[in-house]
Chains A and B, each alone.
Chain A
Amino acid sequence: MGKGVLVDLTKCIGCRACQVACKQWNELPVEDTKVQGDTIANPPGLSGKTYTTLAFKEVEHDGQFHWVFAKNQCMHCQYAGCKTACLVGAFDKTEFGAIVYEKNKCIGCRYCQMACPFGVPAYEWWSRTPWIQKCTFCADLQSNGLTPACISTCPTDALLFGERDDMIKEGKQRIAANPDKYVNHIYGEKEVGGTAWMYLSAVPFEEVGFYPMREEPVTHNVDNAMFAVPFGLAVVATAMTGCYFIFKRRRKLAQAKSRSGEGK
């Protein structure tokens, strides 16, 4: 079923070593940033130069003040909208569950950006030959049996990496062991059909930027539509075949009639 990551927001200390490790391993360029004023987060969001960022959210919940550090990156959907939307098959899903992008096939239509429910794929707007950029789940490291760069650098094990099924079990165990501490939900377990990156939180998810999603995959409508195609084709083919025989028979009859007329 592929690999998964359990991000325990209660264990993240906001050091942003993951952000730097990501830039370093993927050799990503630097963004020209400014202090935003209402947060110390930077860069402001995912972009063609930035595969992961940490949001710093000041939240009041249950009369308690929380400062939550929420890591964002591609969620690596089980049923990826970007992959489905791509006209030319530039996206692929690896055996580990990483959604990866092959720029040599890309025609630059950016349908993937429209199709992603999390707004992840970014475009190199500054470039004359722009490509789509997004987190690769360090597919290169994973294919060599190694752990993604952001995860191996985390000092507090806030990012736990393993088989996706095991991560779900671990998440459920943590919630069961500390029901007062966690919101009773693993974000990403079922959202949009399930994602490789999943989250535990002490405050409601929508407070820290993880919005409610339907459980059905974003590819659902496409599936419905595509499901009808073979039946439609069969009906049309049957009808056309029927017409063919009808017209053929009519012609035969007509020919026979004229022949008999000639014989009079």
Chain B
Amino acid sequence: MTNHYIDIRNADQILIIGSNAAENHPVSFRYVTQAQEQGATLIHVDPRFNRTSAKADIFVQMRSGTDIAFMGGMILHILEDMRKNPQNYNIEYLVQYTNAAYIVNGADVPGEDGLFSGWDPNAGSYDRTSWRYSDMGTPGTEPRLLSPFWSGWAKRNSPFAEEAWEELDDHCVLRLMWEHYKRYDKETVSRITGVSVAQLERVYAEYAKSGAVGKAGTIMYSMGTTQHTYGSQNVRIYAIVQLLLANIGVAGGGVNALRGTSNVQGACDNGLLFHIMPGYIGVPRDVDDDLDAYLTRISPATINPAAGLPTDHSFNWWSFNDNMRRYVVSQLKAWWPEQDPNVSFQYLPKAKAGVDYSHIPIIEEINAGKIKGLWLFGQNPVVGGPSVNFARQAMAKLDWMLFVDIWMNETGEFWKRPGVDPTTINTEVFLLPAAASYEKEGSITNSGRWAQWRYKSVEPPGEPDKRGRSDLRIVTELLAKLKELYEADADAPNRDAILNLDWDFTPPGEEVPNWTYPSADAVAREIAGWALEDYTAVFAGTTRDYKKGESIDTFFHLDDQGRTASGEWLFCGSYTTAEGNKLKKRINVDESGVGLYSDWSWCWPVNRRIIYNRAAVDLDGVPWDKRHPVVAWKDGAWVGDVIDGGGAPINLAPAGAKRVPFIMLPEGVGRLWGYGLADGPVPEMYEPWESPIDNIMSKQQFNPVAYITPEENNPRGTVDKYPYVATTYRCTEHWQTGTMTRSLPWLNELMPEMYVEIGDDLAGELGIAPGDKVKVESARGEIAAVAVVTKRLRRLVIDRKPVHTVGILWQWGYTGRNKGDSGNLLTPHVGDANTTIPESKTFLCNVRRA
């Protein structure tokens, strides 16, 4: 989340799209409800009327997978309305804080072929050069847009949109946005999504109200947005809308990802994703010969604001003050404090060019026999992953599996699943019982980036010497053994990396390194960082003397010469000599008046509760929203939340220090037009990999850069055999793959069986009565389920043809007290072009009575 849960209550408009927040994030609804009580409008967009829709002021039922058409239509509505009624929008924000006025190299928006410029049909990828700015040092700008009195705004009554837009440079970002999204008129969007033109008009007009100066709209999303072959672009299009409406950085605004499970945010922050190190630093690749080459590659060059703008300085935080070097060197020093960072850099594994290390390719590699062993910590990929028949078969190719969980689950028991003879499977499975969250100490970071400490309250069940152990203890004991084995083997690969690795998490007060009971608090201290020797930090003309072993106050003070250690720069300052472990803070007082609760736990970066908050004020430092000021410049200082960047507001700062607000981007302004994603500078509507219709928008049926597992392991269904759109989801009563809940009687009582939801119109056509047993089939598998027949799933009319949606739960399996088929037996093995997240939210299926 750019903002945080409590902040939702500050919103005037709430758009929940691709999320069933009421069921999967019930506590978020505490704040949605509070906002509604204060007059906020809740809009819910979903293929299915669910518990979130039941609370919405406006519910929009759209065909699954058509978010980009729906939101593209909203962009066109906003652009046109903005031109006619600029007084209803924050034009200053748009022009000063986004790249609306920037000039792009020479990119073309897609025509009938549905492809952007730079497409290489042989490589199946884009050359992104044409998407970049005309000048990547100081881009050109469209001067007409910089004037508050652009005559285009004046032509508000002109019915001919072209006339106004064509006054702008044809490579100006805002002009390109219009050129691209003018094809997304409401009639076309209605044909694609199945939403009526009247309903589109109503919902676009309602959400666009949040674009007014001083108003805020929030977008809440989750897996319904991301689990598509264009999932990253779905998120991008929300960001674009929020930038157009000046909703980023303000209270009650933002693009807010509701994370799918407890501590997903903490896992991402601390590098559990395959493409980033802790602190969102890109992983080393095989092209990085040494530390310097790596740092050069990952440190972006600064793009200064173009001439003619009142700003003249882009922070470009990653490269500012040599930050990337400070962070990477300190990280290497946290792990290998005795080694020269140039040496320890070589200990790190390097990602190979052209190899994808995400979930779908891992399963493929296991199936191909290339991956021999698998560690699973609290995971259940043969229920939670896509196309699990394939995944279940692939598991048998492993030599061994290390399974760490608090319950047995389907992956741990794949070798004795129904229909399989265990004697034919040679995989050796090791089970390590884990401690549940209340049985161990540590932090959990919520979606709003708040890292909150939890204490151990009970011992794990069982005999004292056979109890489940915390993940930290399991890894520590494993490492102790590894060090022993590596010590004995002089030829072991990358031996120095293991032998030199520092792993001293001895609890405070103990002197001897403790390899059995490591302290989570000591881990938190290492993540934050300390001085390895007496060291004087210099920053912005001030100095700070650190004694050896002292915690570092802030990441400004991290050293690029290796005198400080910090496991993750973003958490630097979360553990200080003066205040100790700030994740333990529990002061339930809100001094901000906008629900920041800054002394409750700690949040990255630097306890900033709303990121990009520099965009919450105008060029003089006055909050756009006087009712909910996040930050404000008063008497020569910032008050409120921790300001993003620092320094005076743009109009008051000296020349050369007039800073643009989006400090993490090299250009410092929000990107309406981007050049970072693999599949386009702006989102374009493609159909899902399996779709009931031909793409209405272009000849390109599905995302040309999507990741698709070859046909032999991933059959593709067609609409003649599989006429219905299937979408998968969770219910509130079971958690994820059900490992933790399908063995709890009080929850099983509420949701006792695997079921699918079928509209009463489709059920009538197929002769399915409520409670009937049905079979649902896709090209990849078949499941049995009980039919829940409901009015909440209705037939949509898509391009004059009726299209039915079938709702499928995926949380069941063959382990535990409550058994059933997982919806993921049906899902395809295809993934997003940028992240390879599987497309489990839209595919084709057929249904019949069992």
Contact = CB atoms under 8 A, between A and B. Distances in A.
Nearest to A37: B771
A17 B26 contact: yes
Interface string B39-64: 00000000001011111000000000
Interface stretch (B157-165, B317-325, B741-749, B825-833): B741-749
B770 A14 contact: no
Given A35-B753, A38-B788, A58-B791, A30 B746 contact: yes
Contacts of B749: 23, 30-31, 33, 42-43
B30 A15 contact: no
Contact of A20 (B22, B750, B753, B770): B750
B746 A23 contact: yes
Contacts of A104: none
A19 interface: yes
B788 A69 contact: no
A207 interface: no
B787 interface: yes
Interface string A41-79: 011000000000000001000000111110000000000
Contact of B748 (A11, A19, A30, A36): A30
A43 to B, nearest CB: 6
Contact of B23 (A15, A35, A38): A15
Contacts of B722: none
Interface of B is mostly: mixed
Interface in B730-776: 731-733, 745-753, 755, 769-772
B74 to A, nearest CB: 23
Contacts of B209: none
Contacts of A37: 769-772, 786-789
A67 B51 contact: yes
A68 B54 CA distance: 7
Contacts of A15: 22-23, 26, 51, 732
Nearest to A33: B752
Contacts of A42: 749-752
B27 interface: yes
Interface in A174-191: none
B31 to A, nearest CB: 9
Contacts of B23: 13-15
A67 B49 contact: yes
Contact of B733 (A13, A16, A38, A58): A16
Interface string B290-306: 00000000000000000
Given A16-B750, A58-B791, A36 B54 contact: no
Interface size on A, as a range, is 20 to 34
A9 B26 CA distance: 16
Interface in B53-83: 53-55
A132 to B, nearest CB: 21
B275 interface: no
Contacts of A157: 30, 33
A128 to B, nearest CB: 22
Contacts of B789: 37-38
B662 interface: no
Contacts of B33: 11, 13, 156-158
A175 to B, nearest CB: 14
Nearest to A20: B746
A30 B749 CA distance: 7
A238 interface: no
B26 A13 contact: yes
Given A35-B755, A37-B772, A38-B771, A67 B54 contact: yes
A73 B130 CA distance: 65
A58 B747 contact: no
A264 interface: no
Interface in A83-104: none
Q: Which of A24, A65, A156, A158 gathers most chain B CB within 10 Å?
A: A156
B315 interface: no
A214 interface: no
A30 B52 CA distance: 28
B575 interface: no
B258 to A, nearest CB: 14
B434 to A, nearest CB: 23
A24 B27 CA distance: 20
Given A11-B33, A65-B49, A16 B746 contact: no
Contacts of A40: 731, 751, 755, 788
A156 B787 CA distance: 30
Contacts of B755: 35, 40
Given A17-B26, A30-B748, A156-B30, A36 B770 contact: yes
Interface string A1-34: 0000000001101111101100110000011111
A66 B732 contact: no
B28 to A, nearest CB: 9
B214 to A, nearest CB: 24
A10 B771 CA distance: 28
Contacts of A35: 751-753, 755, 771, 786, 788
12 contacts: A13-B52, A13-B54, A14-B23, A14-B51, A14-B732, A23-B746, A24-B746, A32-B752, A34-B771, A38-B771, A42-B750, A69-B51
Nearest 8 Cβ contacts at the A-B interface: A37-B771, A37-B770, A38-B770, A30-B745, A67-B54, A13-B22, A35-B786, A15-B26
Interface of A: 10-11, 13-17, 19-20, 23-24, 30-40, 42-43, 58, 65-69, 155-158
